[in-house]
Structure 1
Amino acid sequence: MTQTIAPRVRTLVLLFLAVTGALLAGAAPVSAHAALTGSDPGQGAVVDRAPAQVSLTFSEQIAVSDDAVRVLDPQGKRVDKGDPANPSGTTYTVRLLGGLPDGTYTVAYQVVSADSHPVAGAFTFSIGTPSETSVSVSAQASDDGLVGWLYGLGRYTSYAGFVVMAGGAAFVLACWGRGAGVRPVQRLVVSGWLALTGATLALLLLRGSYTRSGKIGDVFDLSLLGEVLQTKPGAALVSRLLLLAAAALFIAVLFGAYENRENEEKRDLTFGLAIGGTVVAAGLAASWAMSEHASQGLQPGIAMPIDVVHLLAAAAWLGGLTALLVALYRAPADTPVDRDAVQRFSRLAFGSVVTLVVTGVYQSWRQLGSWSAFTDTRYGQLLLVKIGLVVVLVAVASVSRRWTSRLAQAAAPADTRHEQAQETVPAEAVSAQKSDAGQDVTDAGGRAETAGKAGAGATGAGEAVGADSARAVQLARQRAAMETARQKRLRDADPDRFGLRRSVLAEAGIAVVLLAVTTVLTQTEPGRTEQEAKVASSSSSASASTGQGTGAVTLHMPFDTGGENGKGVATIDLDPARVGDNDLHVYVEGPDGRPVDIPEVKVAFTLSAKDIGPLSVVPDHVTTGHWSASGVQIPMAGDWEVEVTVRTSDIDQVTVSKNAKIG
């Protein structure tokens, strides 16, 4: 069987690479987590007059609360009024108090994206002249503390419970029908149901604090719980609880009436349970697909069914693997997991892996969209870890397949010997039983005669026979227990079965880590959105300038001083870029697009055609990564050379330049 599987595995690998390349090559923009793509005023902008409102534009629809957007003055006091409004599309506005003085203001936002994840951030803008501010520019999300950690643990537990419950039940129905009567397997599936139910209830209670305050004391706030129930994630959690009631009925039938039916009735019941169990499991999987990444972005109508299939395949593989591990280690000696059950699960696992590869390729393309996102984003890096774990898991599974093949080959001669023994034992057993029965009758008669001669009554003889019967039953139980223990020792001593147990245990250990990485992935911003947010942030910073007047000049100048942390981009904004007075803004960002401070920035203007310049300007430092100067004089129109000198240390300095038409 191993030789047959090898070509199929090579074909799947080639197919995987081809499909991945084709999908990634044709990627189109998409978002899943919400990202701030624009604002008015823009990030770092300096406006002449106080705006009447602040507007924020996100990459997708978001859920906002009363305190979702806050605007703070330089002293940290709130200057916004009213609740955030959604005038159109993905743009949200908040009104400001009138008569705001000059200075630097901070806009902090904390919203919930359509795929259920909290998103937080902050930026600054200035009215008139920038000033110092006591407000921190960064904003901590509500999922960064203890509540966020507990919510992540609840997610992991819910995934693990679903995998164990659905996969364990599938293993019993599709691979090992006798397992319905094995207590350890029953406890495993019931434990999965309990874990999923408990985790779902915990997530429902934690949800309000997770998306709002992040405080552990708000977990039992009934008003927050009421708000959660009106959201899509809250409705998904409630639906999951209702489906878990149906799952409880399914488990009761599987481990109750199913085991007690005759073979003909059991076959009919198996079909019914398979249909009903698939419907319930698909509904549970849909409670994730309809409220998380798959429900937003590109092709949600295709992505959600594919996500359901992906979850079902993962449950069939990893949950069935867990059930097989329990059966190999904990099944009674009189009900061992047979080689046919192991081979059936091997085929089921192979089909599940193929399904996971196909659906996983689509999901990877949808969430990343480019090869660079694999290494440049946290989501891509985690996905690489997940792919590596899957490869290792498949490699260990191939070892398990070889042990299964050896177990099947070794079992055939053993079955022959067992049948021969069955043919010889009955005659000897019958003879022994007859001899024992005759001896019992003789002994009973002798004891009765002796008792009569001794003058004992019929009651005494009856008590003696009863005592002998009790001892015989006790001896029979002891012999049965010793025989069961002997069979278990012989079974565990089988090197093929021992090797299979070890390889399956290794698979289960890797599966635990794989499930943890998958849980973290569901809470991580997809690579597409992360890259789009960086581009939007960079564009917003670059376009911020005084007045935003028509004719303003913006120049992006990459630099490298050659020292440590010497790379970055200097952006020059000259507004209104005309003859006479102009306002100059300089923004310095690191390679990651974040504002950075450096020891010195100087700007010079040269008009070579008229031998004018260089006209040096030393801007004043305003805030992190931002310098400005007002009253910059441009004496005449022309093609000016703009030079920027940046110094990143005491000895590392470089001058970069670009030409710009001014006036």
Structure 2
Amino acid sequence: MIGRTPRRGGAVRALSRVLSPAVVVALLLPLAALLVLGSASPAAAHATLVGTDPVEGAVLDTAPEQVTFTFDEAVIGVPAGIQVFDATGAEVAATASVRKAQLVVDLDGEVDEGTLVVVWRLVSADGHPISGSLSFSVGAPSDVVDVPTVSTDASTNAPLHLGVARWLGYVGLLLAAGLAAFSVLFLPADRAHDGSRRRLRTAARAAAVVGALACWVGVPMIALYQLGLPPSALGRASTWSALAAGEYVVPAMVVLGLALAVGAMPRAAPDRRRTALVLAGCALSLAAPSVTGHTRAATPQALVIGVDVLHLLAGALWLGGLVAIGLVLADLAARDDSGALVLARFSACASGVLALLVVTGTVLAWRIAGSWGELVDSGYGGLLLVKVVVVLVAVAIAAWNRFSLLPRLRDATRRAERRGTASVLVRTSLAEAGVLVAVLLVTGFLVDRSPEPDATPSASAAPGDASGESVWLGGIIAEVGLDPLGVGPATVTITMTDPDGAPAEGYEAPRISLSTAEVDLGEIELRNLGPGIYAGDLVMPTGGTWEAQVSLRTTEFDNPVKTVRFEVP
């Protein structure tokens, strides 16, 4: 028989009722569905260039005093991120400034006739670097444009060591906060369990140190990644001042919150004041990662940030609780039935935590990825699906613990039987925690992975052939052509038809951007020539393999993207 529930069980039972699966699903899911489905605008991956002055491929009579780029959201400037070249590859003197969603490039030097290329690199609100270029001509286009490879064309993919630092930060943060919360919510209040409290406090402090250090070590890595600079740039003040304030706020909040939570962990039975301090510190540190990243760019922002905080809170309770069970269950089960009581209490709460994780994870996937189709078409979606599969493994282990091992521990009457069952539970709980650590490893790389769809190469057009290639954009066939197929002025054409061959109408204008490994022309402005036919003028600066990335918003939430390759002689 199970004895009397230890003191402070009322607060925990109330928490279990609040976090029960039925309550979570009944309250949170309809609210999330209302806000998500009722939102007029789809989720945004990162800042998108919506217009330039002059436009791509323009031929001007006189050189402009400044060049303006307009984006759909605020952007952050990068030191030496803007460079202007003439057709010979010589750099033209220029200064750049960022005004919220607008980049202004002032041409300071004398500009000769011919083609100019403005190469730019900025940082989006979600922390992802973005880059591109703009070509226009003064007087007449140049016959040959030779733009060198520059630092602003550096890869925008996050480096491996940054993902590892993110992972260590998440493991330390969630583990420290979860252990601290477990010590005040689930441990019995009598002094016989002070040894267990001491063990949890030691483990939480070690985890907090790892989490705090990883967060701060990640700051210089983020600076180099976002700004596209070499390690030597860390010695310049301009590198640090170019970072968004949020990149400093997050580590500071993590350190402050973990210091409060771990520092307030009790040596003996906690009173209400100490419990409140621990939980407040946990909440502060776990809210920190939502200040930056994908949640800043997804809409509706208030919903996504709130859901992200709940997601991390639930993850901390799950991971920290499992490790805490592994640390103290053997001692609790050796004395009396306290082990079964604590495990039953945590298991009831964990079921609610799992429901909360499912609901919040679903909402975050929907708003950040932008559509269910992007979960398959993008690298971000692929990693997210891997995370889901690994979580399902953890859920299977949790179900075994709850429905098989927990009843055995509860029904055990002899000390040796309790010890044996508790030993098995400790091993399976730590295995479940290990799977969650693997989940956090995937999360560490997801943070810096852009939700933009990956390019899917199709067959290349033959050299010198102006005929296009067809791609499938969510039920619409888009034929993309480039004429003439060579260096110099050209026209890109997109012809959209339905499966029956009729012109596809009733959609927004498609979008197309062209780039090579060295040069990115950015988005090409298109004009409508008739039902389903769009064209845009540009100047091809060099030969080689050019990728044309085409997208079409087919529904409020779906924006398929495909890529066509052209071999320009």
TM-score (norm 2): 0.70
Aligned residues: 472
Structure number with higher helix proportion: 1
* 1:132-168, Cα deviation, whole Å (9 max, x unpaired): 31423894447658xx444333222221111110111
Equivalent residues of 1:72, 1:107 under 8 A apart = yes
Residue 31 of structure 1 aligns to a residue whose secondary structure is coil
Given candidates 501, 504, 522, the residue that maps to 2:426 is 501
* 1:166-213, Cα deviation, whole Å (9 max, x unpaired): 111222222234665235433321111111221233234444434335
Higher RCO (CA 8 Å, separation ≥ 6 residues): 2
CA distance in structure 2 between the partners assigned to 1:390 and 1:9 by the alignment: 17
Residue in structure 1 matched with residue 224 of structure 2 by the alignment: 209
Residue in structure 2 matched with residue 569 of structure 1 by the alignment: 480
Given candidates 204, 211, 215, the residue that maps to 1:189 is 204
CA distance in structure 2 between the partners assigned to 1:622 and 1:114 by the alignment: 30
Matched, 1:368 2:380: no
Given candidates 97, 113, 129, the residue that maps to 1:84 is 97
Residue in structure 2 matched with residue 246 of structure 1 by the alignment: 260
The 1:25–1:270 alpha-carbon spacing in structure 2 relative to 1, beyond 3 Å, is same
Which moves more between the two structures, 106-115 or 189-198? 106-115
Residue in structure 2 matched with residue 585 of structure 1 by the alignment: 490
Residue 91 of structure 2 aligns to a residue whose secondary structure is coil
The 1:14–1:384 alpha-carbon spacing in structure 2 relative to 1, beyond 3 Å, is farther
CA distance in structure 1 between the partners assigned to 2:61 and 2:205 by the alignment: 66
Residue in structure 2 matched with residue 277 of structure 1 by the alignment: 278
The 1:331–1:155 alpha-carbon spacing in structure 2 relative to 1, beyond 3 Å, is farther
Matched, 1:31 2:44: yes
* 1:601-632, Cα deviation, whole Å (9 max, x unpaired): xxxxxxxxxxxxxxxxxx997635899xxxxx
Equivalent residues of 1:75, 1:135 under 8 A apart = no
The 1:362–1:585 alpha-carbon spacing in structure 2 relative to 1, beyond 3 Å, is same
Note the C-alpha offset of 1:303.
2.6
Note the C-alpha offset of 1:401.
0.9
CA distance in structure 2 between the partners assigned to 1:340 and 1:244 by the alignment: 28
Residue in structure 2 matched with residue 525 of structure 1 by the alignment: 450
Equivalent residues of 2:75, 2:102 under 8 A apart = no
The 1:403–1:136 alpha-carbon spacing in structure 2 relative to 1, beyond 3 Å, is same
Letter in 2 for 1:155: R
Equivalent residues of 1:55, 1:93 under 8 A apart = yes
Letter in 2 for 1:115: D
- Structure 1: 5+ residue stretches without partners: 1-7, 260-265, 416-486, 535-554, 561-566, 574-582, 598-618, 628-645, 650-663
Given candidates 107, 110, 116, the residue that maps to 2:127 is 116
CA distance in structure 2 between the partners assigned to 1:596 and 1:344 by the alignment: 57
Equivalent residues of 1:285, 1:308 under 8 A apart = yes
Aligned ranges 1:202-351 → 2 under 5 Å: 202-219=217-234, 221=236, 224-225=239-240, 228=243, 231-251=245-265, 254=266, 258-259=267-268, 266=269, 269-327=270-328, 338-351=339-352
Equivalent residues of 1:16, 1:361 under 8 A apart = no
The 1:348–1:46 alpha-carbon spacing in structure 2 relative to 1, beyond 3 Å, is farther
The 1:285–1:139 alpha-carbon spacing in structure 2 relative to 1, beyond 3 Å, is same
Given candidates 121, 125, 132, the residue that maps to 2:145 is 132
Equivalent residues of 1:23, 1:362 under 8 A apart = no
Letter in 2 for 1:513: A
Residue 109 of structure 1 aligns to a residue whose secondary structure is strand
The 1:176–1:278 alpha-carbon spacing in structure 2 relative to 1, beyond 3 Å, is same
CA distance in structure 1 between the partners assigned to 2:259 and 2:397 by the alignment: 36
Residue in structure 2 matched with residue 623 of structure 1 by the alignment: 542
CA distance in structure 1 between the partners assigned to 2:242 and 2:349 by the alignment: 42
Equivalent residues of 1:403, 1:499 under 8 A apart = no
Aligned ranges 1:166-185 → 2 under 5 Å: 166-177=177-188, 180-182=194-196, 184-185=199-200
- Structure 2: 5+ residue stretches without partners: 1-19, 456-465, 472-477, 496-509, 517-537, 547-563
Letter in 2 for 1:68: G
Letter in 2 for 1:585: A
Note the C-alpha offset of 1:9.
7.8
CA distance in structure 2 between the partners assigned to 1:126 and 1:41 by the alignment: 10
Note the C-alpha offset of 1:557.
6.4
CA distance in structure 2 between the partners assigned to 1:198 and 1:41 by the alignment: 47
Equivalent residues of 1:342, 1:404 under 8 A apart = no
Letter in 2 for 1:517: V
Residue 70 of structure 1 aligns to a residue whose secondary structure is strand
| C-alpha RMSD over aligned residues | 4.4
CA distance in structure 1 between the partners assigned to 2:430 and 2:150 by the alignment: 49
Equivalent residues of 1:40, 1:54 under 8 A apart = yes
What fraction of aligned residue pairs are identical, expressed as a percent? Answer: 29
CA distance in structure 2 between the partners assigned to 1:299 and 1:647 by the alignment: 36
Equivalent residues of 1:327, 1:336 under 8 A apart = no
Aligned ranges 1:525-564 → 2 under 5 Å: 525-527=450-452, 559=470
Letter in 2 for 1:569: V
* 1:287-346, Cα deviation, whole Å (9 max, x unpaired): 221233323442223332222222111100112112223335798966997121211121
The 1:571–1:336 alpha-carbon spacing in structure 2 relative to 1, beyond 3 Å, is farther
Residue 111 of structure 1 aligns to a residue whose secondary structure is strand
Residue in structure 2 matched with residue 476 of structure 1 by the alignment: none
Rg (Cα) greater in structure: 1
